[in-house]
Amino acid sequence: MIVRPKPNLIGILFSLKGSIAKRIALRSLLVTLLASVIVLVETWHPAYFSKVNATPFTLLGLSLSIFMSFRNNACYDRWWEGRKQLGQLIIEVRSLIRQTQGLMDADERELLLRELCGFAHGLIARLRFESERQAVAPWTSTPIDHQHPNIPDALLQRIGARCSELSELGRISEWRYTQLESRLVSLSQVQASCERIKSTPLPFPYTLLLHRTIYLFCILLPFAMAEPLGWLTPVFTAIVSYTFFGLDEIGDDLEDPFGFDENDLPCNAILRTLEREVLAALGQTDLPPALEPIEYVLN
């Protein structure tokens, strides 16, 4: 995620960190070169372009802008919901830290809280298609059953079973057990919501139609602008293609908020926050440092 102060005019014009300019540069350049060729043909054979009217492109561009705004809003909703779910993860872990203060056995409490950290690491690894077992290994005392297909959920089941056992032994009250169980249910909801975002992309036919229409619009637009604008056509084509290709690329970025792109959610920084708070609750003073943005990128 990009974390930086509002740039000045120079920064707006030349900032590349977090920008999609590098990823769409080739497409915009090819469309601009095509526009130059079309203008060259128009100067040699102006009769070919005398009947081309810009009105259809105006209507198509307006409709395309509206459709792209709908798609980008939907993609941003996914990004923002992902951030809300990770925020809820922090809330639930902090609540569990407070509610486990009643445990008299310090070793039992440390085991529970470290496995909560393991759950968070396993969840992020699952969302990124990384090794969940490797992610949770530093935080668990005993390995997870190799047959279990969902390591974070297995950790929640194990924590829940341990809380139930403590309740049956009378080491925590029934009320305390109910509170702990409600927090575990909330963590399951966080996981399910994040998995829903990850596993349910936007409908492919809608995205495909939008991609095709953008390319057709940017390729055909110079034919309408060649006669009235002349050699200004490549300039305006470059601006239009940068805008449409850029909005399309931003939508692709926001659609999957849990990855490693510069504009994705700072999952590593959120995990580090949880680690520091859990370790501090266990009485440790040598905490890992909080992650800071590197060249304006926090991850």
pTM for the whole structure: 0.86
Question: Is 92 contained in some domain?
Answer: yes
Residue 126, token pair as written in the block: 């699952």
Q: How confident is the model at residue 2 (pLDDT cuts 50, 70, 90)?
A: low
Q: How confident is the model at residue 189 (pLDDT cuts 50, 70, 90)?
A: very high
Residue 39, token pair as written in the block: 């203008």
pLDDT digits (tens, 9 = 90+) for 20-70: 778 888 888 999 998 888 888 877 877 666 666 667 777 777 878 888 888
Q: How confident is the model at residue 140 (pLDDT cuts 50, 70, 90)?
A: confident
pLDDT digits (tens, 9 = 90+) for 255-288: 889 988 888 889 999 999 999 999 998 888 888 8
% the chain with pLDDT above 90: 25
Question: Is 182 contained in some domain?
Answer: yes
Question: Is 187 contained in some domain?
Answer: yes
Q: How confident is the model at residue 92 (pLDDT cuts 50, 70, 90)?
A: very high
Question: Is 232 contained in some domain?
Answer: yes
Question: Is 15 contained in some domain?
Answer: no
Question: Is 2 contained in some domain?
Answer: no
Whole-number mean pLDDT of the chain?
Answer: 85
Question: Is 95 contained in some domain?
Answer: yes
Q: In the 8-state DSSP scheme, what is residue 201?
A: P
Domain total for the chain? 1
Q: Is the pLDDT of residue 117 over 80?
A: yes
Give residue for tokens 């930086």.
Answer: 4
Q: How confident is the model at residue 79 (pLDDT cuts 50, 70, 90)?
A: very high
Long-range contacts, 126-133 (Cβ 8 Å, 24+): 126/150, 126/151, 126/152, 126/195, 127/194, 127/195, 127/198, 127/258, 127/267, 128/258, 128/259, 128/260, 128/267
Q: What is the pLDDT of residue 48?
A: 65
Q: What is the mean pLDDT of residues 125-141?
A: 89
Domain that holds residue 175: 20-281
Question: Is 10 contained in some domain?
Answer: no
